[in-house]
Amino acid sequence: MSEIKRPLEGIKVVELATFIAAPCCARYLADLGAEVIKVEATGGDPLRFTAVNEGRPQDYREDTTYTLENANKKCIALNTKTPAGREALEKLIAEADIFITNWRQSPLKKAGLDYETLHEKYPALVYGFVSGYGEKGPDKDLPGFDYTAFFARGGVLGTLFDKESVPMLTIPGFGDHQVGIYLAAGILGALYRAKTCGQGDRVVVSLFHTAIWDVSLMLQASQYGDVSSQYPISRRQIANPLTVAHKTKDNKWLQIAMPQYNRHYPIFMTAAGHPELADDPRFYPQTNLQANLDEFYAFMVELMATRTLEEWCALMDANDLPYAIAQTWDQLLVDKQAWASGCFYEMEYETGNKRTMVRTPVVFEETPEAPYNRGPYLGEQTEEILKNLGYTDEQVAAMIAAGDAAQFSA
């Protein structure tokens, strides 16, 4: 029986992108077995220099953020603004099945790297594009980050917080990672058609549209005007207080998840020691509750404060009631379920330090698990890649000497 291969073995990907969303997509394709060549400017992807933002050392030998988005890739450092550097990029694209970028349209067209130009040359090429706000409309050329296009403009930051508080603290990569996986899904569909029909396509995923998709359930519901859907709102006005996080006696937060209020409410009340409230007409059924939300919320705050987190967990488990502890990152890093289900990988860097890295979230049953190789150093495979394209040792040396390319040196 032959060895099972990863799905994209034999597929070549060229990535010309920075920061997170597009590189995240390419990293996932690398996990699936594709050969991914990351083309970086000779100064490096800006993501290599964000250590201070994340409270970690600025050390190229132990760059967890860069590895997260660029594991299992090869890196060539090219100055694509010079004729020689641009020619090398063109040779890479000519051999590729997939091209991924997040450059804005104006510089892409100026460089002859826009979809129309490449599609005419390479009709079977799949072109993956990450956009801030989409490719049509008045704001299509605005710079896009997940802080702005996803969190703020996309309806997350202005709605998903308690009205009596302040907007949440956003974290980098939250929207980017969703965009990356969505883009990968589209690329794989386009790749299938390209391989069966010889016809490539351009796949576009924007941060803005992704955020709108993410909030779409309540966004659509908000059109009906009910107060419970007009976010931001006070947690006291949530239509179902049994889907809100509550504080326990020991000041821990427990997220209850009982969206079927009428089913779970009697069970919860009885289990919590208040069977007399199981059919109280103020709180049951849920339609009656809406006129008494403040009263019930106050009751829940008082009730949850009567038991510790451990006690509540035992009670919920005993009654098969859905919940989860609101974990902090230090708790998540030692979560036994996360480790057992393959969410994490322990990587040892050249510094001698071991760091917990996160795997991409798609798991296959039969396909071998992807390796987790650190992200390449800037230009680490420049010579190798150029020689594979047919450049001689002398030509490679001349390009590096002229600044058309760069090769990593410790």
Handedness of CA 217, 21, 354, 384 (dihedral sign): positive
Q: Six-digit token pair at 399?
A: 């390009």
In the block, residue with structure tokens 């969703």: 178
Which among 203, 179, 180 is positioned nearest to 191, based on CA atoms? 203
Please give the C-alpha separations between residue 350 and each of 60, 281, 346, 379, in angstroms, as whole numbers: 10, 65, 13, 17
Which among 76, 71, 63 is positioned nearest to 26, based on CA atoms? 71
Q: Do 11 and 33 meet the contact criterion of CB atoms below 8 Å apart?
A: yes
273: left (phi over 0), alpha (psi -120 to 50) or beta: left
Please give the C-alpha separations between residue 145 and each of 152, 154, 172, in angstroms, as whole numbers: 10, 11, 9
Q: How far is CA 142 from the centre of its chain?
A: 21
DSSP sequence for 211-258: HHHHTHHHHHHGGG--GGGSSS--GGG-S-GGGSEEE-TTS-EEEE--
3-state DSSP call for residue 29?
helix
Q: What is the rounded distance in angstroms from the CA atom of residue 94 to the CA atom of residue 344?
A: 36
Q: Six-digit token pair at 315?
A: 């009670």
Give the residue numbers marked as catalytic: 176
DSSP sequence for 292-316: GHHHHHHHHHHHHTTS-HHHHHHHH
Q: Look at strands 323-325 and 253-256 and give their pairing.
A: antiparallel
Q: Six-digit token pair at 332?
A: 């998540």
